[in-house]
Structure 1
Amino acid sequence: MLSWEPDLRTASIQREVPREPLCERAWVEVDLSALAYNIRQLKSLLAPKTALMAVVKADAYGHGAVTVAETVLQHGATWLGVATIPEGIALREAGIEAPILVLGATYSPEQIRAIAHWQLQATLGSPKQALVFSETLSDMSQPQPLPVHIKLDTGMSRLGTPWQQAIAFVQLVERLPHLKIASIYSHLATADSPDPTIMRLQQERFEAAIAQLQATGIALPRLHLANSAATLTDANLHYDLVRVGLAMYGLYPAPHLQTVVDLKPALQVKARVTQVKTIQPGTGVSYSHKFVADREMTIAVVGIGYADGVPRNLSNQLTGLIRGRRVRQLGAVTMDQLMVDVTDIPHLEAGEVVTLLGQDGRDRITADDWATTLGTISWEILCGFKHRLPRVAVGQS
């Protein structure tokens, strides 16, 4: 048995809204109909020849990788992208047969054997890595060559061989036994910027490498360059495949891309009120008393905290929605709980639902709202919700 065993608990999602006690405290809702809608919207931007890879790494950006993958594959995605081998194994264990590209670095014989065993596809970023792959596969009874994807560094300065060395790298991999080049790709560093200068430079470098390969008579495999931002920016960046992450989950990589296509956020974070109490003027709330009441107030304790993924740095800046009305969070966010001002919400009882992210009535709080307050990006917010929060599927896929 290989040692690469998936943790299916972190890659699964409840199929229906569970009853008490599973959701007595806090949970993440994932709208499968929104995911399906987003995939159809993104597919409408692509030429028929261009495939869509759904990037489901980091447990599908916190949405639940298995169910997200099943949903998007039903609605037009044909490839899946993961960061690690265990992420790919979890999808295979769930019965998913679509091609899965491991976008992260893999280089040890144990990793290579796992990739081959689970029929995953690897990214090759250096000649040394390619040699280790070929040598390891030579020791295995591998009936078919392993599909590998050549990564060129055109300016991200992360994984990949420098684009100027594309010919030598591709020729080496072509000569090695047990390997078959499935694609050549690169990654854009600034596709979400309104200034396209660096993105265009990277595209020019990618095109130059491809032209050099063609001039030597190398038959080109599948080509891909675009992430979500590039997919929304320019059809000339689409090539044979686009790798879509954030946009698939209903968020825009940058404000200037919001008019390109309509997307629906798929994730909501909800928690229940666990206690309601009245406090008097001068009463401190939470650790360090960073909030002190200046009047008589009704406050509600809510069963979610920073151990669930609500950043402590949002303390005294966070808002929530109860009965469609916005309420202010008070004091320090604690590990498992936080407090909100519900003075203006009459007859509130324990068990009522507070929406921390998502829509309630006409009001909505987004991951972008949190990210702006924290000076970070929405990707980090989505990936921060911990797995003690059940993932609950809503909507029809």
Structure 2
Amino acid sequence: MDDRTIDWERERAWVEIDRSALAHNVRQIRSLLAPNTQIMAVVKADGYGHGAIEIALTLISQGVEWLTVATITEGIELRTAGIVAPILILGAANSHIQIEAILTWQLQPTLCTIAQAILLSKTIANFEPPVPISVHLKLDTGMSRLGANWQQAAAFYGEVANLPYLQIGSLYSHLATADDLDPTVMELQIDRFDRAQAAIIDAGYELPPRHLANSAGIMVTDRVHYQLVRPGLSLYGLYPAPHLKSAIDLQPVMSVKARISQIKAITTGTGVSYGYRFIADRDMPIAIVEIGYADGIPRRLSDLMQVAIRGRLVPQIGTITMDRIVIDITQIPDLQVGEIVTILGRDGTVEITADDWATALGTISWEILCGFKHRLPRVNGN
């Protein structure tokens, strides 16, 4: 590569984000929904590693009505970028400082306990002038994480509704097993959520918008679509489970690429990388690629992964190091320094997916996507 013409965002390794694929996925998700059901897009964890700001801007351009994040800091990042769409914070706020940040940045908090609601109301009262805020009540219907017990839904709802400055914006819960083939637990959670709603109505309150469906729930049954849905993984083009692949057509949004920095030949018996976990059983050409575990390739993938070059798959060999991997280029001996290697994504007719890595490691694709570090620039892959 000539230093005078080098693309510095792509000089070593990078993540490509295909906004057209993201827009396609939004359309596919909407195809399953009733016209009045809105999308609350999950862009936490930096948009599942894709870059939360650019992802959020693209989603909004596609008519997505809501955004949701895990932390107040994530919400502030979006507001700082000029995003004005409503933002739900999924995590709990338990201090004055957290609440003041929520109010300052016009975020919408989740309430899981009456103590949180009282603290929020009292904090708002100290603002001049006090400004009412939209709050979202979370019920625990079987996830056993955040949320009020679903059996106390009516009492919880009533206490919050009677506090000054709090306007109930939605009622929600979270499905624990929507991606399972066995629907037993999901059906139990749906029943509990519906019974909680009935109890609130019986107590004389009008229900706000409700949401329960994650990506899997959206695909499994329209019974959980209610007025809002919360897609996460499906927005980014991956399926929560193999049996859901026929529900809609999704396109991966992320590709990861890197360049070859050196090519050399090694002889039979030569060890490769730390620990010599790979020793050449023949004379062979190898290439060094500028990406490693500090960028997000799990070290446990050593000797288990392939990369794509010129539309062909070639094996990674030896221990994955902090900044580099080594590949066996026997099948393509005429490669040149500076050529692009596809780490994740499509190259011609071959494709390497986050699901491939997750299967090899016994984990989930969510973890793979979120693992790519910020020293990899996020660039437009359209």
Write the deviation string for residues 69-120 of structure 1: whole angstroms up to 9, x where unpaired.
1111111310001001111111111111110000112111001000011010
CA distance in 2 between partners of 1:142 and 1:339 (Å) = 62
Aligned pair partner of 1:295 in 272, 276, 282: 282
Q: In the aligned structure 2, how far is the partner of 1:38 from the partner of 1:19? A: 33
Return the alpha-carbon distance in structure 2 between the equivalents of residues 99 and 143 of structure 1.
Answer: 20
Match of 1:238 in 2: 225
Q: Give the structure-2-normalised TM-score.
A: 0.98
- Any conservation in 2 of the 1:151–1:161 contact (CA below 8 Å)? yes
| Pairs within 5 Å for 1:69-84 | 69-84=56-71
CA distance in 2, matches of 1:51, 1:159: 23
Q: Does 1:32 align with 2:19?
A: yes
**Which secondary structure state, in structure 1, belongs to the residue aligned with residue 185 of structure 2?**
helix
Residue in structure 2 matched with residue 392 of structure 1 by the alignment: 379
Distance 1:357 1:152 in 2: 38
Shift in Å, 1:132: 1.2
How many Å separate the matches in 1 of 2:6 and 2:137? 47
Q: Is 2:71–2:89's contact at 8 Å kept on the other side of the alignment?
A: yes
**100-109 vs 366-375, greater mean Cα deviation:** 100-109
Q: 1:284 aligns with which of 265, 271, 274?
A: 271
Deviation per residue, 1:294-350 (Å, 9 max, x gap): 000100000000000000000000100010110100000000001000011132111
| Among candidates 90, 105, 119, match of residue 77 of structure 2 | 90
Amino acid in structure 1 at the alignment position of 2:92: A
- CA pair 158-303 structure 1, distance change in 2 beyond 3 A: same
CA–CA distance in structure 1, aligned partners of residues 152 and 245 of structure 2:
37
Q: How many angstroms does 1:21 deviate by?
A: 2.6
- The residue identity in structure 1 corresponding to 2:269 is G
The 5 A counterparts of 1:128-167 are: 128-167=115-154
What's 1:213 paired with? 200
* Superposed CA offset, 1:175-219 (max 9, x none): 111111100000000001011000000000000000011111101
Q: Give 1:143 deviation, angstroms.
A: 4.4
Which residue type is aligned with residue 77 of structure 1?
V
Q: Does the 8 A contact of 2:40 with 2:67 survive in 1? A: yes
Instruction: Give the aligned partner of residue 15 of structure 1.
Output: none
1:141 Cα deviation (Å)? 2.1
1:362 to 349, 356, 373: 349
Shift of 1:394: 2.2
Structure 1 segments unaligned to the other structure (5+ residues): 1-17
Contact between 1:38 and 1:249, CA under 8 Å: does it hold in 2?
A: yes
SS at match of 1:166: helix
Correspondence for 1:223 among 206, 210, 216: 210
For residues 313 and 143 of structure 2, the distance between their equivalents in structure 1, rounded to whole angstroms, comes to 41
The question of whether the paired residues in 1 share the 8 Å contact of 2:44 and 2:52 is answered with: yes
Provide the secondary structure at the position in 1 that maps to 2:92: coil
Q: Aligned match of 2:249 in 250, 253, 262?
A: 262
**Residues 142 and 305 of structure 1, relative CA distance in 2, 3 Å threshold:** farther
Contact 2:43 2:232 (8 Å CA) reproduced: yes
Answer whether contact 2:355 2:364 (CA < 8 A) is retained.
yes
1: CA distance between counterparts of 2:95 and 2:214? 28
Query: Partner of 1:388: helix, strand, or coil?
Result: coil
Change beyond 3 A, Cα 1:19–1:244: farther
Structure 2 counterpart of 1:383, which letter?
C
Secondary structure class of the residue paired with 1:103: strand
Single out whichever of 374-383 and 20-29 deviates more from structure 2: 20-29
2-structure distance, mates of 1:346, 1:292: 19
Structure 2 CA distance for aligned equivalents of residues 277 and 41 of structure 1: 46
Match of 2:295 among 302, 308, 313: 308
Q: Is the 8 A contact 1:28 1:267 kept in 2?
A: yes
Q: Contact 2:124 / 2:130 at 8 angstroms: preserved in 1?
A: no
- Number of matched pairs: 378
Residue aligning to 2:162: 175
**SS across alignment from 2:201:** helix
The whole-number CA distance in structure 1 between the counterparts of 2:15 and 2:381 is: 10
Quote the residue 2:359 is aligned against.
Answer: 372
Provide TM-score, normalisation by structure 1: 0.94
Kept after mapping to 2: 8 A contact 1:43/1:76? no
Give 1:144 shift. Answer: 3.0
Pair 1:203-2:203 in alignment: no
Of the three residues 106, 110, 120, the one matched with 2:97 is 110
Query: What's the C-alpha RMSD, in Å, of the aligned pairs?
Result: 1.0
